Each structure stands twice: as C-alpha cells, then as structure tokens.
Homo-oligomer: A and B are copies of this chain.
Amino acid sequence: MASQSSGRRVTAADIARSLGVSRATVGFVLNETPGQTISPATTARVLAEARRLGYRPHIAARALASGRSHLVLLVLPDWPIEHSLRENIDEATQALDEHGYTLITFTPHEGARSRPLWETLQPDVVMGLLRFPAPLIRSMREAGVERIIPDPDEASNTRYSEGGPRLQVEHLHELGHRRLGFARPGDPRLVELADAREAAATAAAVNLGLEAPRTLEPVCVGSELDPPVQAWVDAGITGVVAFNDDVAAAIIGAAARAGIAVPRSLSVVGHDDTPTALMFEPRISSVQIDSTGLGHYLAALAIHALDGTPTPDWEQTSAVTLISRESTSVSPSTQE
C-alpha cells in the first residue's frame, strides 16, 4: 500500500532487486505470462512485494515494449444524444477496463484545429457510431491505427438509427394518424444523423402503406417556424415524427403560438427521451434507447476487433422503446 510520496517511481526492477530475483521473473508473475512456470511461493512473494512497494506498471514503457497502447478511442459525433449516450459510454468503459483496455472518448469538432486524438494517442482501436468519412479513415491509417470500427472495408452494419424512427412512425400509425411529417433539426452537425433517421422513418411509413412523411425544412431553434407548422396542419398532417426531443419541443412551441392544440389537433413524437421531454408541457412522447445494451455492444465490438472474439449482434444486445406521454393522442380524423 505504501508508496514513496515524492521519490522515483517503483519499477519492476525494484521489486526484483528487493526480492533477489530476476526482472524477468517479476515480469512473468505480474503478467501471468502463458508458457511460464513460476512456483506458487515465488509468485506470492512477488505479488506481495509489488503491493508493499506500491508498484504501478508504467504504461508508456508497457506500450513501447508490447507495441500496443491498450487504448480504445471512441469518436463521438457532436450530437446532443448526450443523455443516453453518456450512460452507455460508461458501460463500455467498464467492460473494456475488465479486458485491460481504456476507453477514451473524443469529439472532433469542426472548428477545432487541434490534431485528432488518434494521432496523439495512437490507440489500438478507433470506434465510431456512424461510418467514418474517407478522409478521416485515411488520417487514422496514416497515424498507424489498424483497427477501425465500423470496418471501412466491410458493408455497413451500423443500424443504430433505424429502430427509433420506426417506433415513432408505428406509434402514430397505431393512433390512427395517416399523414405524417418529419421535423428535422436546424443544426448542420446533425445532417447526417437526421438523414438516417428520416430515411428510416420514411421506410417505416411506406412499409405501413402510408405516404412518405413530408419533411419540414430545417428547424432553427427560436426561429419562426409557426407558418410551416400551420401549413402542415392545413395539408392534413396530424402526426409529426420529430428528429429528437428538442425538435419536438420546438414544433410544439410553434403549434402553441399558431393556436394549434397539441395533441388534440397535432401529435408530436420526440426521440432520445431527454429530460426535456419530461419537462415540457405537454410532456413529450419519446423513444428511449437502451443505453446499457448499446454500451456493452460497443465494448464487445472493440474486444472483438482486438481479440478476435465473435462479433456480437446488435439486435440481441440492445433495444429501443417508445414511451407514450401527452404529446401524442388519437388522430382527430379518427375521433369523428
């Protein structure tokens, strides 16, 4: 337990010296190196001495010698998913920690001119939630990153964004809504994800025999989107699939100003189940993502890439749920 408060750091050599054994022996014990037979007695002595001296392996030295940094870099898009994402990053962190890897998150912002973290950190794996654009992949490869998830050379299997929109559409459909709108966020950073979600929503609608949802031009938070919402209602749209809870809130606000009652005249479903959804008047129906599952899935993906463990299946490990609140109700046309 004790550790020299201000002296040099304790190395494996210190343990060896203090015990009168060789450095190699210490290394074998501490790493449980396979193929090496160390007597239980020696093993115990080494471990005890390591603890006594407060030994901590020097990660830089380990990385240099072993050639692996034991770092996993999770590249986060700057989505405001925050709330659910945070939790599953935790899960993933822990799962990876148990395998001796450290998960570090990183959000490459457009504005920032600093070097991407994979260049400085030289992680063993770089993971992302969506496929990486080609220039980024090139940058990673040049920086010596050999494992990239999702694998740029394989057909995409990232379907994180499909389940939610489908649930949103199905929810509105069950309530009798037949003409839907899709409300996009104004934030340019979200374009990619919005595209994915809109495509999923459209697919789900068409699948149910509905016409494809009309798209509301990007919503600028705080801007005047009252007229467009009015136009939607005039066009017979009764249900709105919102990109996320914030967009849903914006639509509801606009509706309120335009004198459109929510949910009586217009139902709105959010996505991500953020705290906003609960705090709004009316409370927003939303899609909750199983963060724990996603976290484990992420970790499993990384470990797979590192150890060759079989790739886990996303559908099995995670799920999305629709939480019905007061912002959605039976379609007015059904009410007659």
Q: Tell me the chain A residues, 252-303 only, with Cβ under 8 Å from chain B.
A: 253, 256-257, 275-276, 278-281, 283
Most buried by B among A5, A97, A143, A256: A97
Q: Does A170 contact B (CB under 8 A)?
A: no
Q: Which residues of B contact A257 (CB under 8 A)?
A: 281
Q: Which residues of B contact A280 (CB under 8 A)?
A: 253
Q: Does A136 contact B (CB under 8 A)?
A: no
Q: Does A134 contact B (CB under 8 A)?
A: no
Contact B97 A115 (CB under 8 A): yes
Q: Which residues of B contact A86 (CB under 8 A)?
A: 78, 107
CA distance A98 to B105 in the complex (A): 20
Segment with Cβ contacts to B, from A37-45, A54-62, A161-169: A54-62
CB-CB nearest in chain B for A100: B120
Interface size class of A (residues with CB under 8 A): 35 or more
CA distance A119 to B56 in the complex (A): 8
CA distance A26 to B130 in the complex (A): 40
Q: Which residues of B contact A173 (CB under 8 A)?
A: none
Contact B141 A114 (CB under 8 A): no
Contact B60 A122 (CB under 8 A): yes
Given A58-B122, A141-B5, A142-B54, check contact A278 B221 (CB 8 Å).
yes
Contact of A112 (CB < 8 Å), options: B78, B90, B122: B90
CB-CB nearest in chain B for A115: B97
Contact of A94 (CB < 8 Å), options: B5, B114, B278: B114
Q: Which residues of B contact A222 (CB under 8 A)?
A: 278-279, 283
Contact of A114 (CB < 8 Å), options: B93, B121, B143: B93
CA distance A82 to B82 in the complex (A): 8
Q: Does A246 contact B (CB under 8 A)?
A: yes
Contact A90 B111 (CB under 8 A): yes
Contact of A56 (CB < 8 Å), options: B54, B61, B93, B143: B143
Q: Which residues of B contact A17 (CB under 8 A)?
A: none
Q: Which residues of B contact A112 (CB under 8 A)?
A: 90, 93-94
CA distance A3 to B64 in the complex (A): 21
Q: Does A69 contact B (CB under 8 A)?
A: yes
Most buried by B among A54, A276, A279, A280: A279
CB-CB nearest in chain B for A2: B142
CA distance A122 to B71 in the complex (A): 13
CA distance A120 to B56 in the complex (A): 9
15 pairs from A and B in contact (CB 8 Å cutoff):
A3-B142, A5-B141, A56-B144, A58-B64, A59-B120, A60-B122, A80-B82, A82-B82, A93-B112, A97-B115, A102-B120, A104-B117, A221-B278, A246-B279, A250-B279
The 7 A-B residue pairs with the shortest CB-CB distance, nearest first, are: A97-B114, A60-B63, A222-B278, A60-B64, A94-B114, A102-B120, A60-B60
